[in-house]
Each structure stands twice: as structure tokens, then as C-alpha cells.
Amino acid sequence: MRARITALPLMSLAALAMFFFSRGELTPGRAAPARPRLEARVFLPAISFRRSYVDDGPAVVQGRVWDNANAPLPGVTITAGERITTTTDANGAYTFHLAVGTYTLAPSWFQKPFVPSSLQISVSAGVNNGLDFTCLDCIVDVQQRVWVPSGNFRMGCALRDMYCDGDERPLHTVSLSAFSMDRYEVTNGRYSACVFAGGCTAPHAPGSATHASYYGNPAFADYPVVNVDWSQAQAFCQWDGGRLPTEAEWEKAARGGTDQRVYPWGEAAADCPLANFYARGSYCVGDTAPAGSFPLGDSPYQVSDLAGSIWEWVSDWYLPDFYTSAAEWIDPPGPALGMGRVQRGGGWGDSFFSLRVSNRRASEPSAWQADVGFRCAR
């Protein structure tokens, strides 16, 4: 399996796979065929590699099939066209409980090649069968976290920034505990895993600005998910074992802890090699791009796409004068209530002004747009 990200600490990959068991249709007055047909879906939540830009070897999907008598499932009968759903454990292993009989198993994920391409198995009473398949070329969703150490940083309008709004002032020192942040914005592929597992609802619209079929389309699995509201973003992060970052955490991940840079990459003017935005009268892309497409714009902590691409929900409520509300700032959670939830980072259709590290925007929590997504923290 090839990973499309730069080498950093442990990377976790997530994917959806479908396993189709074939069962023949029964004709009245005729005996059942030798190979019954059954369709089943499997969710693979965790396949891991430690390096990138390196062929780490194929992904192996491992599982067991047990007969129903050995592990009874109340009310389950195998009929033509029936779909059975299961969820793998943290190692990517799956288990099916089937009636005694002979089955043909043919795995597929986004039409990628598996070895073997199919496998016939016989389920006998009291016997379990191992079923392993190897995906040779699965480009799966990227999930990688970076570590942001504890310490102080300067939050708000940088002294050299001539474009700040009033809600970015004053520049103030914030002390944060250590945390981790997703290196990439949550992608369609990663989000769909949560929807499949029942922890999330689908985005409000399936398309993007220029693609009518976007979410759920394999071609855009590694693009950031959009058209999600604040509650959907929060639900995903909780399902994934994390949370939305605070506004302070987001800004430190973008700025670093040692300077007052205007952009995540430093002081250089925003340009298309650095970010996906509206630059000098034309769009760099005109829509979203695959996660991590602009590595030259990474932050000091190697967090990608914090400027441009999509606006990102954070956990805080928005108040325009919040920065004047305290004399000491230690792990600020944001105001208790406010005028909407904060979004950060700017989107693919915004100018350089929105890409600045300190820029803030408020939006109704129930709002959703084709240039709004999120990433998670822990």
C-alpha cells in the first residue's frame, strides 16, 4: 500500500471495504445451488504504517468465519441478497457468523486489486475458517497526528501584520498544555468510516463547488470533507477519540511557539505554491484539493493546509472582544457563549487576508458550506 504523506510519527490509515458473498437465487421446485450467495460489508478502522513515500508492503485484511450454531445470532437466517454488516477490531480483523454451507468470497474496495481475487470456503458446524486477503494497491485515507509541545506562544495580531481586524487584538501570551493535532483536515474517506459505523451523519450535500459527486466518490476519498456543520465535526472527533481543537490550540499549531509569523509558513506573501486560495484575481484550484497538496505551506509543527483549502471549525464560541477579557491566559477554552462558533484558516475561494494565522470568523453552528470542514485534536 502506498501512503501519500510525508514521513512523520505513527500514521493510521482507515478505509471502507466490501466483501461480496455469492448466493444463487432459488427457483421453486429446484434444489439449492452448490454455492449460496451472500453479500456482506466490512469496515476496516485501523491499518498502520510507520513511514511514507516508501512502499511499506501490502495491506492484509484478516478474518474468521464461524458457523451460526457455534456462535448463535438470534433471528439470523441467510437468504438470497441479504446483507450482513460487521465491524473489525483495532487490528483490522473481522468475524462473520454464517449458516453451514459453501460460500464464495470476493473482496473489493474502490475496485482495487486483492489477492486472492476470490476464495471459496465451506462453513462446517463447530469449525472456524481463516480468511485473509491482501490489497495490493489501496490508496486509503490519511490520518496522521503531530505533537505540539506545552509552553507559551503569542496569539493574535502579529506586530508586522498590517491587515488585522479588531477581533484579533490585542496580541497576548497564551500558555497551553501539550496536545496533538491532525496533520491533515479530515477527509471524505475518513469521515465516511464514521458514517458507516453509525457515529456520524452524512454531509448536508454530496457535492463540492465544481464536483456534483464528491462525498462518497472514490476519486475524492483523500480530499477534505465539506458541507458539515459544527455538531457533525464535533461528533466525528468524539467518535475518533478526540475533539475539536480550541481556537488557541489551532493558532499555536499554525504559528508555532517562537515567533509572530503572519502565515503558517512565515512572512512570505501568500502564493499558489503555498496554499489553495484566490490569488491575484484567479483561483489556485477553484475547489478543494487532496489533503497535503501544499507542503510548502506547512506550519512550524508540520501541520498542513492550515491556510487556505477550507475553513476549519474549532470548539470555541466567538466573541469579537474576547481577547480583552482576561489578564492571564492558560489553556483558554473560549467564552461560555457567543455569536456563533469560530472558524479558522480561510478557504480555497478567499484572498490572502483570510489566510493570516490570526484571522477569525464566526458562523452559526448549524451552517454548512462547500469550503468548510475541520480537523481534530487530542
Is 212 or 103 the better-scoring residue by pLDDT? 212
Mean of the per-residue pLDDT values for the chain?
78
The phi, psi pair for 310, rounded to 5°, reads -140, 150
- pLDDT bin (cut points 50, 70, 90) of residue 4 is very low
pLDDT reported for residue 49 = 26
Residues making up the chain, counted from first to last: 378
Which residues 6+ apart lie within 8 Å of 291 measured at CB? 142, 184, 185, 187, 222, 223, 224, 304, 305
- Structure-block grid coordinates of residue 203: 454531509
Tens of pLDDT along 5-51? 222 222 233 333 344 443 333 233 323 233 233 333 333 333 222 22
Tens of pLDDT along 143-180? 588 999 999 999 999 999 999 999 999 999 999 999 99
**Is it the case that residue 247 has pLDDT exceeding 60?**
yes
pLDDT reported for residue 230 = 98
**Is it the case that residue 84 has pLDDT exceeding 60?**
no
- Measured over the CA atoms of residue 307, residue 183, residue 230 and residue 317, the dihedral's sign is negative
Which residues 6+ apart lie within 8 Å of 249 measured at CB? 148, 176, 179, 181, 314, 377
Tens of pLDDT along 311-336? 999 999 999 999 999 889 999 999 99
Half-sphere exposure of 346 (CA within 13 A, CB side): 25
| pTM beyond cutoff 0.95 | no
**Is it the case that residue 114 has pLDDT exceeding 90?**
no
Instruction: Please tell me the distance from the alpha carbon of residue 288 to that of residue 188, in angstroms, as a whole number.
Output: 11
Q: How far is CA 360 from CA 33, 311, 342, in A?
A: 64, 10, 7
**Cα of 135 vs its chain's centroid, Å:** 21
CB 372 within 8 A of CB 226: yes
Identify the helix (H) or strand (E) that includes residue 231. Answer: helix 230-239
What domains can be seen in the chain, in order of their start residue?
11-135 (no CATH), 145-374 (3.90.1580.10)
Is 14 or 344 the better-scoring residue by pLDDT? 344
- Structure-block grid coordinates of residue 171: 496580541
Is 140 or 28 the better-scoring residue by pLDDT? 140
pLDDT > 70: percent of the chain:
67
- Name the residue among 243, 182, 232 with its Cα closest to residue 205: 232
Instruction: Please tell me the distance from the alpha carbon of residue 364 to that of residue 341, in angstroms, as a whole number.
Output: 6
**Is it the case that residue 233 has pLDDT exceeding 70?**
yes
Instruction: Please tell me the distance from the alpha carbon of residue 156 to that of residue 166, in angstroms, as a whole number.
Output: 10
CB 317 within 8 A of CB 336: yes
What SS3 state is found at 69?
Answer: coil
The DSSP bridge partners found for residue 130 are 64
CB 63 within 8 A of CB 132: yes
- pLDDT bin (cut points 50, 70, 90) of residue 132 is confident
Burial of 126 (0-12, 13-18, 19+ CB in 10 A): exposed
